[in-house]
Amino acid sequence: MDDYKFPSVEDAKLAKQIYQRMKLWLPFQIEGEADCFCIDCDSPEGAVVYHQHDWYDGGSGENGHVLASSLGAFLQSWGRVCFASPANLYWPSAFARKGVNWTSRYFPKAYIIKD
């Protein structure tokens, strides 16, 4: 995709920048419809980012929402909801400005572990 023009996104320049960053992402968990969690090997702590498989088929051209600053932080947070998927099975619906909103509004209440 080095020569791909990203004709279906709003910002092709941004999409090209994202694509270059993605070359340093290491997938470790595939979610529904081929979306996956990745470790960003270019970030200082190995941030966990969300890769949406159809990110370049429309929209802004963005991809790689940061879920946590490190794999350890992500696993600790996700463990508090028993490693469940969001109730509607669509991870972006649970995205917060920084990370994920790990509340019963987005995750099945039965799986939330109280501190």
What are the structural domain ranges in the chain? Answer: 12-81
Q: What is the pLDDT of residue 114?
A: 77
Q: What is the pLDDT of residue 50?
A: 98
Q: What is the pLDDT of residue 115?
A: 53
User: Which ranges of 3-100 would DSSP assign to H, the alpha helix?
Assistant: 12-22, 71-79
Q: What is the pLDDT of residue 109?
A: 94
**Spans of the chain below 70 pLDDT:** 115
Q: What is the pLDDT of residue 91?
A: 96
* CA atoms lying within 13 Å on the CB side of residue 100: 31
- What span, in angstroms and rounded, lies between the C-alpha atoms of 93 and 82? 18
Q: What is the pLDDT of residue 40?
A: 98
